[in-house]
Amino acid sequence: MRNQIYGILFIFAIVFGLSGISSKAIADQTAMVYKSGDRSSGYTYATKETQSIQDDDLANPAYLWLDEGAELWNKVEGKAGKSLRTAWQIVGEYASEAGVTYPKYNAKLGKMQSLEQRINQLRTEVMGAKPYKWESKEMLSITIFIRNLSRGKPMNVSIDGPVIPFFNAGKKFFEAKRGQLDMSCMNCHEENNGNMIRANTLSEGQSNGFPTYRLKWQKPGSIHRRFRGCNKQVRSKPFKYGSDEYVNLELYVAWRGRGLSVETPAIRN
């Protein structure tokens, strides 16, 4: 009997070991910080069912994208014959920090850069490869992979020095009323969190789970896709994926969620 159990455990170890589901993927949920100060993750507003899918990495459908992201990370592409992993090493940044520090100020561009934009910059400038389209399977997969390296770490964007004007622009965007409904992000996500809106409980609009897998979309989506959806809800014209407006907003939203654990890939309704 005992030998049989060891046998089964052994097979388990082999299967997980070979299928690329690393020990990182089977993370300790108790170490996650869902509340920090007066800030709470969207996880705390989700239903028990939704939470339980997120809690179980083997049930989380976004792990298909994560696995693809792991492959893209190591894939040699472009004229320079390098992988994104190598490109990241060449510029001397820690990929495991990227998930908590982007959007980040880029001195060469003189403005903020989101994680997606950093990925494409390294692809074009260091690898000599084509940029990924924003909401493509590849971009979502690689962003999920990189942000997942930071899973459990507290959100920690810098808002000092050259970042200040961009931070202020993001804050202003968050507070500005817009659209035919004349509503700001703040109206929904700070003044009405916990209240129902149609079939949804309004959360604080935190970004720590992005890209998140939305059950409604049946696939993961970027934070800019979410911003566009929220803009459309108040009948206001959405901005472009990767627009300066959204990158600055993303910075402000990330700062609002400081201290919350990165949950990528989170599950939301």
- Which residues are near ligand HEC by CB under 6 A? 42, 174, 183, 185, 187-189, 197, 200, 202-203, 205-207, 209, 212, 226-227, 230-231, 233-234, 249, 253, 268
Q: Where are the alpha helices (H) located in 34-163, listed in sequence order?
A: 48-55, 63-74, 84-90, 95-101, 115-121, 137-148
Q: Which is nearer to ligand HEC, 120 or 212 (CB)?
A: 212
In the complex, the smallest distance separating the C-beta of residue 245 from ligand HEC, rounded to whole angstroms, is 9
Pairing of strands 35-36, 111-113: unpaired
Report how far residue 251's alpha carbon sits from residue 218's, in angstroms, rounded to the nearest whole number: 26
In the complex, the smallest distance separating the C-beta of residue 25 from ligand HEC, rounded to whole angstroms, is 20
Tokens of 149: 């390296």
In the complex, the smallest distance separating the C-beta of residue 247 from ligand HEC, rounded to whole angstroms, is 12
Q: What angle separates helix 244-256 from helix 164-175, to the nearest 10 degrees?
A: 90
Q: Which is nearer to ligand HEC, 86 or 269 (CB)?
A: 269
Closest residue by Cα to residue 69 from 127, 22, 126: 22
Catalytic residue among 21, 33, 230, 234: 230
Distance of CA 2 to the CA centre of its chain: 43
Q: Which is nearer to ligand HEC, 36 or 121 (CB)?
A: 36
185 included as an active-site residue: no
Q: What angle separates helix 244-256 from helix 223-233, to the nearest 10 degrees?
A: 100
In the complex, the smallest distance separating the C-beta of residue 201 from ligand HEC, rounded to whole angstroms, is 7
In the complex, the smallest distance separating the C-beta of residue 134 from ligand HEC, rounded to whole angstroms, is 16
Pairing of strands 104-106, 111-113: antiparallel
Q: Which is nearer to ligand HEC, 117 or 203 (CB)?
A: 203
Tokens of 191: 């003044």
Q: Which is nearer to ligand HEC, 141 or 206 (CB)?
A: 206
Q: Which is nearer to ligand HEC, 114 or 203 (CB)?
A: 203
Sign of the dihedral defined by the CA atoms of residues 125, 127, 132, 138, in that order: negative
Phi, psi angle pair for 150, to nearest 5°: -100, 10
In the complex, the smallest distance separating the C-beta of residue 268 from ligand HEC, rounded to whole angstroms, is 4
Q: Which residue has the tokens 């209240």?
A: 195
Report how far residue 23's alpha carbon sits from residue 36's, in angstroms, rounded to the nearest whole number: 26
Which residues lie closer than 8 Å to 223 by C-beta, 6 or more apart?
A: 207, 210, 211, 250, 253
Active site residues: 230
